[in-house]
Amino acid sequence: MRLILASASPRRLELLGQLGIVPEVVASDIDEHRLAGETPVEYSRRIAQEKGLAVAQRFLGESVLVLSADTEVVLGDEVFGKPLDDGDAARMLRRLSGIEHQVISSVCLIDCSQVRLATRVLTQTTRVRMRELSDQDIAIYISSGESRGKAGAYAIQGRAAAFIERIEGSHSSVMGLPLFETAQLLAL
């Protein structure tokens, strides 16, 4: 079967490479607004599934698997998406500074060969503690450009690794694709 990654994320592609998988890439474009009353976990699961379904519709009835994912940085019930600009990134980093938050990643696998799309979703929640950040730390980090396009305005695999005191859970999940759950879905 062909495997398609429904994501334009170079990080997710790189992580799949760690499993020896080189999928085709077909980016999905969906509305990622959180619904009223939706918990952060429900939100992440829904978005991962909708990303996959948006791509899977193109391959209905074909021998194709579509893999999609969603990663959210969460503090309490607040979901930190990608920052709108550098000011928003600074706001997020100030809120995360010195405290523990969660990173919720959901991964979805869709089998397009079925008469109806067969969908499975697994979710990983990781606890992350960030050290206290000074205004200078935040300014230098934001000036690197690394915060752009990253949930919670940081990338654990980059310069922000120096900000992370500890994690409990999956490092690859915080990077954007929980490899353990992905391998389970793909039965590797």
User: What residues are annotated to the active site?
Assistant: 70
Contacts of residue 76, defined as CB under 8 A and 6 or more positions apart, other chains included, come to none
Q: If you search the block for the tokens 């930190």, which residue do you land on?
A: 80
Cβ contacts of residue 168 below 8 Å, gap of 6+?
A: 126, 127
**Under a CB-based contact definition with an 8 Å cutoff, are residues 102 and 43 in contact?**
no
**DSSP 8-state code for residue 114:** S
CB 25 within 8 A of CB 13: yes
